[in-house]
Chain A
Amino acid sequence: MSLLELTDKLIQWVSEMARTQGYSPEWAGFFTAIAIMLAVGGFVLGFISVVAMLLIWMERKVSGHMQSRIGPNRVGPFGLFQSIADAVKLLLKEDIAPKMVDKPVWWLAPIIIVVPAVLSFLCFPFHKGWIPLDLNLGLLFIMAIGSVSVIAIFMAGYGSNNKYSLIGGMRTVAQIISYEVPAILAIVPVVMLAGSLSFGQIIEAQSFRWNLFSLWGIVSFIIYVISGTAEINRTPFDIPEAESELVAGYHTEYSGMKFALFFVAEYTNMVIVSMIASAVFLGGYYLPFGLGASPVWMLLKVFAMIFLLMWFRWTFPRLRVDQMMIFGWKVLLPISFANIAWVGIWMALKL
């Protein structure tokens, strides 16, 4: 059943309901509009929750095997239902609000942090023509939306009214704003060569040769993966929530469902960063050298990228704050500028 038929069924069902309740056609249309918006929102929220649960299970398995353990193996086959059990536990947990927190800010932070994660799926390129909305400037849109999450993290850090959380929040501001610059600059050469910011056109430009198969492509890819890891606060850049220094950083004071929302956002952002890396550098749904195209390759690439990020987490030690800042501004930024200049000169010579 196609998506259009599905929405048509929904429209029929809701307007039928509105008619039996004795509402006018205008009101029926209004209710249908609200129903469609709620249905889409609910679907995306459910989707990202399931993906996050799957990834949490995956991370525990990966970390277990990297440390010569087995990981979760009791609940369900291969411990697959462990995440569901955890989710039920988090849902049923008492919601504790510390006495001295800045209530409105503290309450809103976990809600706001999910918003960019949900919105980013708007441009997820599953397959040729299977992009929910192939915006003219999809890449810029995702980058812009991603920069909103820093506000939520800072709100959590500030609203908790706790020294460790505040330090975590301040570190996040410094880190995300610093690493956003190389992350965007690493993508600029791709945009220059493809001549477009839309995911569809960038992937079409790689139908034969991925962007990774060139010197500038490798450099851009490495810069993007490093700064992407930093933007989603994962080890070796998990300075905002460094356990050994800051208890749990910005989410120290959260428990139950609020904590779960931070978790969902973290894993969804991981999917988004992997999606951008695979769409922009790894050819999206295309195999190299015209060997074929399928949404399966896209998903496989995304999962390979997620595995890479998990591999980083369990094998690298955490950076110090000053090392992190120096690495971002004095190493990644000049290299990405040199990379852009190199691609620009190459384009000028070729034309």
Chain B
Amino acid sequence: MNFPFIPDEEDRIMIEGYMEQIAFLILALFAVVGGLITVTHRHPIYCALGLILCFLSISGFYAMLGAPFLAAVQVIIYAGSIMTLFVFVIMLMDLTREDLKMPPSKFSTVVASFLGFVLLLEMLMIIGGGFLTGKMGSWTPEKVDSVGHTRVLAQVLFTEYLYPFEIISFVLVVALVGAILLGKKKLHLGGKE
């Protein structure tokens, strides 16, 4: 960049790059802070808020990586599910301020630290083995852009991955039936009392 100057294409690209970096740093900060709040805070409402902060930042990453459909779906699904979590906390847990000051039980501390240690080891092993580079698939970003992102996703989902898709929807229906069964006050099987 020379002074005094009329901004040309190169300068615009440089400034755009800075903007992208700033957006990335803000999103990364939010994601990490949200994750930390989720695992460290004692109050379940704060944990849920930290979780949604983390998820929304991750959907920002998806958008920056050229997967806008995934980003939008992430926001729609997690906004709804986090609200359900809130309602659970309020309706089912019935917390008072004293409940939150109680120290956690010894058993859960031991199990949680063991599992956390295992997870940490796994992550260290993966990072120690060098960062993995995924296998290059047949759908390059250029090819996806030429057809249209949502169209590609729909085509692949309903042809190549039709059976997994149907099986997942079946599992979801089973979960729905279970929820309705649990929600019923009295069961009338066979039509008679």
Residues of chain A at the chain B interface (Cβ within 8 Å):
8, 11-12, 15-16, 19, 25, 28-30, 32-34, 36-37, 102, 104-105, 135-137, 140-141, 143-145, 147-148, 150-151, 154-155, 158, 166, 170, 173, 177, 180, 196-197
Contact = CB atoms under 8 A, between A and B. Distances in A.
Contact of B5 (A12, A102, A170): A12
Which label, helix, strand, loop or mixed, suits the secondary structure of the A interface? helix
Contacts of A197: 150
A203 B171 CA distance: 38
B5 A15 contact: yes
B49 A105 contact: yes
Interface in B35-54: 45-46, 49, 52
Interface size class of B (residues with CB under 8 A): 35 or more
Contact of B86 (A135, A136, A137, A173): A173
Given A11-B11, A33-B18, A150 B72 contact: no
A28 B82 contact: no
A33 B86 CA distance: 38
B176 interface: no
A41 to B, nearest CB: 12
Contacts of B73: 140, 144
Given A136-B150, A147-B76, A32 B90 contact: no
Interface in B1-45: 1-7, 11, 14-16, 18-19, 22, 45
26 contacts: A11-B11, A12-B5, A15-B3, A16-B4, A25-B1, A25-B3, A29-B14, A29-B18, A32-B15, A33-B19, A36-B19, A105-B45, A136-B148, A137-B69, A137-B150, A140-B69, A144-B73, A144-B75, A144-B76, A144-B79, A151-B52, A151-B82, A151-B83, A154-B83, A180-B80, A196-B148
A29 B11 contact: yes
B19 A12 contact: no
Contacts of A147: 75-76, 79-80
Given A140-B72, A144-B76, A16 B150 contact: no
